[in-house]
Structure 1
Amino acid sequence: MDLVIDIGNTNIVYGIYDQNRWVHQWRVETDIQQDELYYGMHLRSLFLEYGIKLNAIQYIGLSSVVPPLTEVISGMVAKLLGSDVVVMGPEVYKCIPLHIENIYEIGSDLVANAVAAFTKFQQHCLVVDFGTALTFTTVSDEPAILGVAIAPGLKTAMRALSTSTAKLPDVELELPSSVLGRNTEHALQAGVLIGFTGLVEKMIERTRQELPVACKVVATGGLSSVLTPLHQQFDLIDPHLTLEGIRYLLLQYNAR
């Protein structure tokens, strides 16, 4: 049984992998003000609620794009479970045959996405990750990460509008049927959600134009299911893709 942790700007995702499948996945709101005690109590309660023994975890892998929480969470988990935590980074990347040009700069979540997509398809892939940021990671069949594009995520864009303006509220992420907004909520949904649909379609189109061969397109992230018109653009929608990549990196590192 393995524990995989993905620390993002909005959520911390814990995944329990056992017998060739993800048996549990839990999301906790990311809060950089909290300490080891807070996160430790929460994780311990989850283990207790789902009947998981603390000594049942064999390997632990952690990816983080929130530096203040990397040591907090890794330290908490190591103390709670009494096991070493492998933190994704350059030393781990060296254990896989994936060429990364900016090995000390790229986010570990993007590397995990690239590794998981290539492992699944063994060819050129584009990973679209709908998270706090909307990211596009392209990996070749060499394999190598060819490049990354980053835009604000859906919730980030919506929150920016509601917090930076006096009269625009925070609204639900529901795709409207028309771009002709009949009220403020509808107008925001039309502008952001339908606008983001066009953004993603254009990025997929441009990526395919710039590649020498056809590529698979994979979607992941907590909001990957929101923009339903895009689903026909994807060869795979995998909410566990980042966790899969972290786990693969973890296994390769431990097998070195």
Structure 2
Amino acid sequence: MAKMFTQMQLQAIADALGDTDEGLTGSEIGYLLRTARMDDPDAGLAKRHRLYNAFALAQNTKQDRRLILAFIRFAMKPEQYARDARRFEPMRTNLNRALAFVGLAVEPSGKLVSMEAVETLGQAQRRASALRADLEVRRVHHDVLRFCREELLQENYFHAVLEATKSVADKLRSRTGLTDDGGVLVDRVFGGEHPLLAINDLKSESEKSEQKGFANLVKGMFGMFRNPVAHAPKISWAVNKDDAEEVFTLLSLVHRRVDAAKMPPRPGAEQ
């Protein structure tokens, strides 16, 4: 027997795609229904009711869900949102929350894929995490995400920032063999006439200035994001989603420069 959505599953999908603030527009719904070769029996209804009725009619007529899946694929093509890219991820997040219960998900590429179905709202929320979706779009460095995977799943921005900032110190220790932390670690890695790591050739005054500026950036990042978060109670140091995304973007920049940094030859070392 062909797979079919339950009434509740159809309603959740229609609610996500027809969301008042973050869903499809009325004209987009009409166009996509035509593209998916689905009837539009109640074009005058509210968007989510219009979609539900169209989905239910198509599924009952065909006795399978293929037309609804086709609609989702058409609706979630990223190129359709090129002129207003901010709409795509919120809609994808809402839709993935509904699809999680049927073992489906829309990837950032717009591809509809199968995965293990969830059983609870908490599982669906974590899978459809808006923060993770935004970070994928921003191409946040994988080492940043590796340090705060559990916090991201829970959308715990406060501790996600703390754990993500630790990733930079961990990489500096890994590359140099040092055991220091914080500003002392940064000074030993990037400071002095013969730093352990150099982000450029250090041949001109401009390059030396860039090296010093980068060291100050990393130390400032520790001072602003790591130390206050580590020592202040969560209730007194609020970190919202937008703040977390900006911090992760900065951390990604730092990681990429450290990845590309060279280890200059030390005076007296064998060449």
TM-score, normalised on structure 2? 0.24
Q: Decide which structure has greater helix share.
A: 2
Q: Which has the higher strand share?
A: 1
Larger Rg: 2
